[in-house]
Amino acid sequence: MLPTDRFADRFLVDTYARDEVVQLDYGDPTSAVAVPERLFARAQCIARAYDLHLLPTIDIYSRTRLNRPQCETLLDEIDFIAMVSNDQLLREHLGRVQSLVSACIRVPQRELFIEGP
């Protein structure tokens, strides 16, 4: 076994199947995107490592509400993380979040809600 094979499970969907989720939505239940808690935390850690502003400050253990300018910042940060990451599983989840946040930005009065377990 190669040393990196020990951590190969970090890239498998099944590894996170039983995780609590961080839910993002804009008030419409059909808009909800669920990200496994550990993957959301991974994105936050990457954001923190690159000194990004918004994503690392989100407390997933309370309900966070973001307005349009904050959503624009969040989208920029998620775009950046997706660009620098070679973690395909994380990028798949970030892609769904990007779509949701973009939908929030397109409707000026819409707010994004983020809430974890």
- Characterize the bridge pairing of strands 64-66 and 33-36: unpaired
67 lies in some domain: yes
Q: Is the dihedral of CA 28, 109, 104, 85 positive or negative?
A: negative
Residue that is written with structure tokens 């994380």 in the block: 90
Could you tell me the pTM of the whole model? 0.90
With a pLDDT cut of 90, the percent of the chain lying above it is 80
* Total tally of structural domains belonging to the chain: 1
Whether residue 3 is contained in a domain is answered as no
Partners of residue 22 on adjacent β-strands: 35
Domain contains 90? yes
Instruction: Give a three-class secondary structure readout of 51-88.
Output: CCCCHHHCCCCCCEEECHHHHHHHHHHHHHHHHHCCCH
Considering the domain boundaries, does residue 40 fall inside one? yes
Q: What is the CATH number of the domain that holds 59?
A: 3.40.1760
How does pLDDT run across 68-99, given as a tens digit for each residue? 999 999 999 999 999 999 999 999 999 999 99
Asked if residue 106 is part of any domain, the answer here is yes
Q: Is residue 88 part of a domain?
A: yes
- Residue-range definition of the domain harbouring residue 103: 19-115
